[in-house]
Amino acid sequence: MITIQKKDNLIIVAVIGEFTLADYNEFEQQVLYQSHSDGKTNLLFDWRDMLDYTVDVAWEEVKFMRDHGSEFNRVAVVTDDEWQTWGAWVFNLFIHANVTTFHDYEEAEIWASETE
């Protein structure tokens, strides 16, 4: 399950439980719509409550970042999981945005809300 909200130039995506392909399709549709309405935006992924994700989600994520990564200034990922931190690092291979991982949600939101 995912929740998506927008605060000024920041789109916040929280994943709860398993991140499925249906969730990912909802994410992609909403984020692209919201980001195109205002130009470049920032993303905040809250993965603290994500239990797992399917392989097709991982592949779609790579394709999305390759195709749309230049549309974002900053991407913050909140997680305590080592593999998710590594996955966030992989984002850097496909996008021009500044991607940073955080353990603290408030710190991530402050950083991701800043404009460059």
Cα–Cα distance, 70 to 26 (Å, whole number): 20
The rounded percent of the chain whose pLDDT value lies above 70 is: 83
Higher confidence at residue 44 or residue 32? 44
Angle, helices 82-91/55-68, rounded to nearest 10 degrees: 30
Output the pTM of the full model: 0.82
Q: Is the pLDDT of residue 75 over 90?
A: no
Residue 86, pLDDT score: 56
For every residue of 86-115, which 3-state class applies, written as one string?
Answer: HHHHHHCCCCCCEEEEECCHHHHHHHHHCC
Strand 10-19, strand 2-7: pairing: antiparallel
CATH code of 42's domain: 3.40.50.10600
Residue 107, pLDDT score: 97
Q: How many domains does the chain have?
A: 1
* Owning domain of residue 39: 2-113
